[in-house]
Amino acid sequence: MGLLDSVLGSVMGGQAAQPGQGGLGGLGGLGALLPIVTSLLANDGAQGGLGGLGGLMEKFNQAGLGHVMQSWVGKGENLPISGDQLGNVLGGDLLGQLAAKMGVDPAQASGQLSQMLPGLIDQLTPHGAAPQGGLGNVGDLMGMLGGLLHK
């Protein structure tokens, strides 16, 4: 099992990529998802000019789903989000960009993101609050994810 497999299994509650789900060795799939998600959450991320975790939180608030994302940041149970709901939060343009980078259609991209984001954001905010300065740059996030593996 590779590093990305371990990270993905950790943030997805131990669920490993299954054959046919675009595992780490395939085009698109979950292996392509981690760098894209870290780019979404990083302060210096290039995805859609969101502005990192704070910008993503604002998009959730605008879509009326701020409470869902806050559950991922907070210490309680993570509320689920459907692929359709996440697609509405991100918008068609950004979702299309993400799907193209993953090599899947937008519905698959939103479905995979909806499975990964709650656990990833939960793991990256272990104190139950979003850090004032955001989660840092892409390198910082990858370092944090590597640190999660050593726990």
Question: Could you tell me if 113 and 83 are in contact, meaning their C-beta atoms sit under 8 angstroms apart?
Answer: yes
Maximum mean pLDDT: which of 5-9, 22-26, 62-66? 62-66
Q: How confident is the model at residue 143 (pLDDT cuts 50, 70, 90)?
A: confident
pLDDT at 12 over 80: no
Question: Could you tell me if 141 and 52 are in contact, meaning their C-beta atoms sit under 8 angstroms apart?
Answer: no
Three-state DSSP string of 42-97: CCCCCCCCCCHHHHHHHHHHHCCCHHHHHHHHCCCCCCCCCHHHHHHHHCHHHHHH
**Percent of the chain topping pLDDT 70:** 72
Q: How confident is the model at residue 35 (pLDDT cuts 50, 70, 90)?
A: confident
Which H/E stretch holds residue 106?
Answer: helix 106-124
Region 27-149: CATH code: 1.10.10.690
**pLDDT of res. 6:** 47
pLDDT at 144 over 90: no
pLDDT at 30 over 60: no
Q: How confident is the model at residue 31 (pLDDT cuts 50, 70, 90)?
A: low
Three-state DSSP string of 31-54: HHHHHHHHHHHCCCCCCCCCCHHH
pLDDT at 132 over 90: no
- Global confidence as pTM: 0.74
**pLDDT of res. 17:** 41
Helix (H, G, I), strand (E, B) or coil at 151: coil
Query: Domain residues of the chain, as ranges?
Result: 27-149
| Integer angstrom CA distances of residue 115 from 28, 86, 140 | 15, 10, 22
Please, what's the largest Cα pairwise distance for the chain?
A: 40
